[in-house]
Amino acid sequence: MEGWPEPGTPVRLVVKTWSGKVEHMGLALPPSGPNLVTVKLQNGYNVSFPESYVDSFELLDEVPVIEELPSPPVPQDESLPLVHLIHTGGTIASKVDYATGAVTARFDPHELLDAVPELRGIARIRAVKLGNMWSDDLRPRHWNRMLRATEEGFAEGAVGCVITHGTDTLHLSAAAMSYGWSGQGGRPPGRIVLTGSQRSPDRGSSDAPENLIAAVHWAAHGPQPSGYRDSAVAILHAESSDGRCVVIPGCACRKYHSSRRDAFKPINQEALALIDLSGDRATIDYEPEAHDARVESLAPKLFDESVRIAQFISDAHLQPDMVQAAIDAEFDALLFHGTGLGHLPISDPEGDSLENTRLRVMLEDHCAQGGVVVVVAQTVHGPINMNVYSKGREQQGMGIIGHGSLCPPGSGLVKLHHLLSVGGGREAVAEGWGKDLLGENPAFSRT
């Protein structure tokens, strides 16, 4: 449309509709289709109109933002169980930034309580703010901060802790809470839940309220954790529609879709429970599992923040110099996402791929010198089985760790870091990898 401003420019748009002229204010966007004008509104949604509907438009200095008065404090019911709501950031704690039209992590945790008043009828909430971070920016030091925050919550009498978190790496932090509290055979003093949302709370289609309600309900009224599969759990939408949330073992979950509201699935095992939100109160559909009793952990095992793990994808572009660079830089471990049953490009049957031979010799020498090399499944689902093909047997002979494991790749990264943090070299990692520490590796077998 002639004269339509650059994307991101604040505009006042007047359009002609069947009910008369209507005014919209927002940010100009690239048209969503031919002969259309598109504007991002203050509520986060985009609207498009045919150019023929446009009566006029005016450029603005900025999009007026309606100032919201702070809500008065709401008294909490002291008879309800105490739950710490630990805020790290992510879409569940975000708003649309109308200066750019992008979603930014900038909610205060108390705003979550005001936005979802149902939480106050489930538990007595104490909000704790660790930061406003997108989950792709998190590092192991942030796992430790979460572990300390849960420890402080339980010390203050909380029966559960809910960590609000961006979904992109939520599965890694959930695994970190699991290994931190139960990797040495114990169990946390209370329930730990990680939850997030795919759509920000100020959008009509947000999954944030239901995810929060389900997470707080589990943290306040769920079963006592056994330390096996349930040391930390992820709770998010079970389906794309409203009404149910799924409780997934934190040690075996994965984000499998970039935008759907039911973006998380358990890997190589079943979900723990479902939470029904269709009635007046949330209800838990859960069948207790029989496990040996574990002693309550006095404190979590923190991750050694100096540990460095180099990750590689096994494919046609895996070059030996990449791996050699990590070895020369003295990374503590090499983690390969192997193809199929856990294979690496280390064979040269046609005599035309010298880089494969170089990679095999390099890894063989590195393992012989005590280097830690682990392979997980690039396929995500299914076991690592290096007994089926001769290449897999050769990899085992070289000293590559991983055979028989059902541990998902994300959880595997965290498990490897945990084992390195506990102490010991290659043999200690190999021994720990061959165990089912907390439900990450069910039915482990060296088939």
What pLDDT sits at residue 353?
A: 96
The proportion of the chain whose per-residue pLDDT surpasses 70, expressed as a percent, equals 89
| Residue spans of alpha helices (H) in 277-389 | 320-328, 354-368
Q: Which residues contact 356 (CB under 8 A, 6 or more apart)?
A: 345, 346, 347, 348
3-state secondary structure of 8: coil
Band (263; pLDDT cuts 50, 70, 90) = confident
pTM (predicted TM-score): 0.81
Band (259; pLDDT cuts 50, 70, 90) = confident
Give the model confidence (pLDDT) of 384-441 as tens digits. Answer: 999 999 999 999 999 999 999 999 999 999 999 999 999 878 999 999 999 999 999 9
Q: Which CATH code fits 82-286?
A: 3.40.50.1170
What pLDDT sits at residue 20?
A: 83
Q: Is the pLDDT of residue 277 over 80?
A: yes
Q: Which residues contact 66 (CB under 8 A, 6 or more apart)?
A: 42
What pLDDT sits at residue 93?
A: 56
Query: Are 141 and 180 a contacting pair, CB within 8 Å?
Result: no
Say if 10-59 and 82-286 have the same CATH topology: no
CATH fold group of domain 10-59 = SH3 type barrels. (2.30.30)
What pLDDT sits at residue 131?
A: 84
Give the C-alpha separation, 160 to 61, whole Å. Answer: 47
Band (90; pLDDT cuts 50, 70, 90) = low
What pLDDT sits at residue 409?
A: 96
What pLDDT sits at residue 96?
A: 52
Question: Which range has the top average pLDDT, 72-81, 190-199, 263-272?
Answer: 263-272
What pLDDT sits at residue 18?
A: 76
Give the mean pLDDT of 284-289: 92
Domains of the chain, by residue range, sit at: 10-59, 82-286, 309-433
Q: List, by residue number, the catalytic residues.
A: 91, 167-168, 255
Top pLDDT among 430 and 40 is at: 430
Give the C-alpha separation, 252 to 229, whole Å. Answer: 8
What pLDDT sits at residue 219?
A: 97
Sequential DSSP letters for 98-132: TTTTEEEE---HHHHHHH-GGGGGT-EEEEEE---
Query: Are 320 and 327 a contacting pair, CB within 8 Å?
Result: no
Helix H or strand E encompassing 382: none
Give the mean pLDDT of 14-38: 86
Identity at 435, one-letter amino acid code: K
What pLDDT sits at residue 362?
A: 97
Q: Is the pLDDT of residue 99 over 50?
A: no
Give the model confidence (pLDDT) of 291-302 as tens digits. Answer: 888 999 999 999
Give the model confidence (pLDDT) of 53-81 as tens digits. Answer: 999 999 998 766 555 555 556 678 899 99
Q: In Å, what is the CA distance from 301 to each residue of 83, 160, 193, 298?
A: 22, 18, 18, 10
Give the model confidence (pLDDT) of 338-377 as tens digits. Answer: 999 999 999 999 999 999 999 999 999 999 999 999 999 9
What pLDDT sits at residue 103?
A: 52
Band (43; pLDDT cuts 50, 70, 90) = low
What pLDDT sits at residue 204?
A: 52
- Mean pLDDT, the chain, integer: 89
Angle between helices 426-433 and 409-422 (to 10 degrees): 130
What pLDDT sits at residue 243?
A: 86
First to last CA, the chain: 66
Helix H or strand E encompassing 245: strand 244-249
CATH fold group of domain 309-433 = Rossmann fold (3.40.50)
The token duo for 314 is 């096994």
